[in-house]
Structure 1
Amino acid sequence: MNELGQVLRAWRERLTPEAVGIPHNSPRRVAGLRRGELAMLAGISVEYVERLEQGRSLTPSPQVCTAIARVLRLSDDEQAHLMRLAGHAAGPDRIPVLIPANLHRLMEQLAVNPLAVYSAAWQLLHWNPLFAATFGDPSSTDDDGRNLVLSQFGPGPGRMRLTKDERDAFEGSLVSDLRATTSRYPSDPALVALVTKLRRLPRFLSLWAQPTVGDLQSARKIVVHPLVGEIALESSVLTIQPADLRLVVFLPRPDTDARSKLDLAATVGLQQWV
């Protein structure tokens, strides 16, 4: 067992099931969470938790680290330690991926809406169940599929429906925001690799050639859900400082049936519909 495995096991064993809302009546050999309970709450497999604790998997992604930190109620310092052990070193030249505890508390208050947290490179770090139910489950995709810029300019249609003007405005704003990020973190290797991939995509490349710099703007969107139909939403983008994260909250558009459709999507959850 390496240091990563040791601290994960220690953090798991110090947290009681009651603290995370798991009732239990039978005696336990240890007071803390079981591996299966951590896996269920973090959205990962029991086998993966076992590999991490035994030192057989050394590089969990930032998304997995964030999920584990949330479940285990890690402090900001502990989460930073976890990120370092997992190979996601923090520094002035690296894009931050640590979600502070106060942001998790804010998201709990906003959980009636789909929401997600992205890094400054628009890498999806955290999402709530209603986001997954509305837009599709991000855990079923790889890291490239969880990058908003790559998925927007890639071939997949997704569930978002935009007019040409809406698409042009959204993509232009997204590229302008990414350009601002490259000026703040010019030496971040993951960001350099991301831009290299994106430059192979003609639509991105034409926008990248323009000098516009700015933040991603809030926008109206139509989500086409496979069961509940069209959901009219308005995205609000909040920049979280000093963490340099993006909290995106999707609000039901006024004077539409979006609220009731979101409630239905929440009830349906992640069921697969043909």
Structure 2
Amino acid sequence: MAPSRSGFPGLLRAWRDRLSPADAGFTVTDGRRAPGLRREELAQLAGLSVDYVLRLEQGRAKNPSSQVVGALARALQLSRTERDQLYRGAGLLPPQDGTVSTHVPAGVQRLAVRLGDVPIGVFTADWTLVWWNTMWSALHGDPAVLPTAERNLARALFGDGAARASMLPVRSERGPDALAASIVADLKDAASRYPADAQLDRLVRELRETSDAFAHQWATPTAAAQHTTDRKTIRHPRIGDILLDCDVLIVPGADLRMVTYTAAAGSSGAGKLDLLRVTGGSQARVNNAPGQYT
């Protein structure tokens, strides 16, 4: 049901009041007065400053970007209809059908929040990271330091920017080239299904022009297996090598990939994840920031 208050500021306040802090991954303590999320909690989830959220709610900040509105919609766990209403309230066209969706359904977010002990990252069809939890940041480094365009796995593998520089050394049991080949296969599939998506087209053109390895993979007619399940050794700068099972869970109807890392109980990997939980879990709780993480 749509909130009774209209206009972007009213929608923002009403949906912030509606969202349960527990569903957003926050611990609810006795004496909490706010019926929903506090303003600073929404700011943290959306990767915005508290002052900017305040100005948006007061109507003093005009013309938020589509990236900001998309991040707020994900943070507020809006339905597609509500998301579109928020875009229109900001004077923007909602995301069009036929383009890669960055919408993360509320049920997916609630599920991921309840699996907080597991590193989880949610990726779009073009392998752009749009949602992650604290354990993901503890394992891979905080995506908050990267601009939006660089939070993309293809750019991390084939680019020469911040995404590539921030990626930790990873060794796959399927071999050194398996991950790269499977990501290119996924991008080919996405490009065939979203031919009108300008951002995806720009990503592919950029990597074909700047990476010989990507250009070669893109021109190779042999189909590689899509990226689904793997066993990886991640070289963490503080803890060293961590052997983990990496599973990619497809979200039907949303065209999202939920990537999880787990280890068998009692294994070395499980012990190192426990250590990460203690030593690396003090960063941002969850995030889906629009452009930068400040």
For the superposition of Structure 1 and Structure 2, which TM-score range results when normalised by the shorter chain? Answer: 0.7 to 0.9
Which of residues 185, 190, 198 is equivalent to 2:194?
A: 185
Secondary structure class of the residue paired with 1:61: helix
1:61-76 pair list within 5 angstroms:
61=67, 65-66=70-71, 68-69=72-73, 71-76=75-80
Structure 1 unaligned segments of length 5 or more: list them: none
Structure 1: distance between partners of 2:29 and 2:135: 24
Q: Match for residue 38 of structure 1?
A: 42
Counterpart position of 2:145: 140
Of 243, 249, 274 in structure 2, the residue corresponding to residue 263 of structure 1 is: 274
CA contact (8 A) 2:120 2:133 kept: yes
TM-score by length of 1: 0.83
Match of residue 125, structure 2, among 120, 125, 141: 120
Name the structure 2 match of 1:97: 102
Kindly state the Cα deviation for residue 59 of structure 1 after the two structures are TM-superposed: 1.1
> 2-side partners of 1:147 and 1:123: how far apart?
4
Q: Structure 2 CA distance, aligned partners of 1:247 and 1:7?
A: 29
Does 1:176 pair with 2:185?
A: yes
Q: Is the 8 A contact 1:232 1:256 kept in 2?
A: no
> Deviations along 1:208-234, whole A, 9 cap, x unmatched?
111244522321211122222211112
Cα separation, 1, equivalents of 2:140 and 2:112: 18
2:220 alignment counterpart: 210
Contact 1:233 1:252 in 2 (8 A): yes
Structure 2 unaligned regions, length at least 5: 1-5, 284-294
Match of 1:252 in 2: 263
Q: Which amino acid aligns with 1:8?
A: L
Structure 1 residues 248, 49: closer, same or farther in 2, change over 3 A?
Answer: same
Aligned-residue offset at 1:177: 0.9
Q: Distance in 2 between matches of 1:244 and 1:110?
A: 20
TM-score, length basis structure 2 = 0.78
Aligned residues of 2:168 and 2:234 also touching (Cα < 8 A): yes
- Does the Cα contact within 8 Å between 2:172 and 2:230 map onto a contact in 1? no
- Offset at 1:267? 1.1
Q: CA-to-partner distance for each residue in 1:87-112, whole Å, 9 max, x for gaps? A: 57333311122111221233234332
Deviations 1:94-133 (A, max 9, x none): 1122111221233234332111110001110100110001
Does 1 or 2 have the higher relative contact order (CA < 8 Å, sep 6+)?
2
Q: CA deviation at 1:144?
A: 2.3
RMSD: 3.1
Aligned-partner Cα distance in 2 for 1:172–1:31: 48
CA contact (8 A) 1:144 1:151 kept: no
- 8 Å contact kept, 2:78–2:105: no
